[in-house]
Every structure is written in structure tokens, then in C-alpha cells.
Amino acid sequence: MTSKTSLLGAAGEHFIMCELLRRGHIAALAPQGAPNTDIVVTDLSGDRLCSIQVKARSAIARGGGWHMHAKHEDLIGDRLFYCFVDFGKSLEDRPSVFVMQSKIVATVISASHRAWLSVPGKNGRQRNDSDKRQLLQDHSKAYHPEPTPYPQGWMDRYQNAWHLLGMGD
């Protein structure tokens, strides 16, 4: 049986494909199970190529971020990008897309996870490490009481930043 999470992920991939095609790029879904790539993109001349990993969520998701894993801290490539899709709270909401270089994503989730581990948890207990990570639009809780380098609004510069793909947008 297909889960709602799988359907949301597929919706995210197809939404990004639609956006890329609308912008005049050649885009195709990577084969099922391809490591670290959901969509392969090239310009019309075939001179520029990149791969995209899509992360989708709805705004009603717990935690308000995109789920990641420890492996994403090491997935860095000059031509590897992420598209983070937020489908909003209802079907009437226009999805938001944040286009980010893999190096930025790796840096943010690694630093925020280390900060979260360093701050005592409930009742002052040391937090347990795990494979789970999150990319958030506000990482203040992870750094509290210290100031965060990733406060509310830090992702705004990446909203609809299709030009970062280097495809001539």
C-alpha cells in the first residue's frame, strides 16, 4: 500500500519537474532507487547538467521542517542541489520552493545537529545522537540559549532561487 508520505514525495518530484520544464530545461526523473538523485536536469544544448534531490512537506507536518538523515551531511557535489517543497496547509495554497546547493544544506544540518546535541534536553539530560536531522526555516531552538546563525528568514534568499542551478535562468 502506498503511504501518504510516498505520495507527498512523488508530488514534490513532479512539481519540481513541472517547474523545471516550464523554465525551458530538460528534466527527467532518475530511475527508482538511484542514489542521491531524484531529478536529472540539463539545459537545451546539453552543456550544463545537474542533479536534484527533492524534499517535500506540508506545513502541517510535525516540527515544521524537512526530514533529513546523517548521510546528507556528507552529500556534497558542485552540481548536486536540493529543492525543498512546502505544499502549505491546504490544497489551495501555492507551494513554496527553496533551491539550495548541497554544500549549504550539509553545513546547516551538520552545524544545527551538533548545536542541538550540545544543549541539554528534558530535565537537563544529555541528548542521544541519532541518524535523524531536520532542515528548518528557524534553527533557534537548536542553538538556545546561544544565538543561531540560522534564524527565522535565513532560507528566504533561496526561495525560487532557480538561478543557482546555473542553467541560464
For 123-149, give one letter per residue: b (16+ CB within 10 A) or e: eeeeeeeeeebbbbbebeebbeeeebe
Residues 6+ apart with CB under 8 A from 37: 30, 51, 52, 53, 80
Residue 100 has pLDDT above 70, yes or no: yes
- Asked if 85 and 16 touch (Cβ cutoff 8 Å), the reply is yes
Using a pLDDT cut of 90, give the percent of the chain over it: 67
Half-sphere exposure of 109 (CA within 13 A, CB side): 25
Measured distance CA(41)–CA(90) in Å, rounded: 29
Using a pLDDT cut of 70, give the percent of the chain over it: 96
pLDDT the model gives residue 26: 95
Residues 6+ apart with CB under 8 A from 166: 48, 50
- For the entire predicted model, the pTM comes to 0.92
pLDDT the model gives residue 101: 98
Q: Read off the pLDDT of residues 106-116 as tens digits, 9 standing for 90 and up.
A: 999 999 999 99
pLDDT the model gives residue 63: 64
Q: What is the mean pLDDT of residues 44-64?
A: 85
- Asked if 97 and 82 touch (Cβ cutoff 8 Å), the reply is no
List domains and CATH numbers for the chain. 4-104+155-165 (3.40.1350.10)
Q: What is the mean pLDDT of residues 55-80?
A: 88
Sign for the CA dihedral angle at 11, 104, 109, 37 comes to positive
Q: Are strands 80-86 and 132-135 parallel, antiparallel or unpaired?
A: unpaired
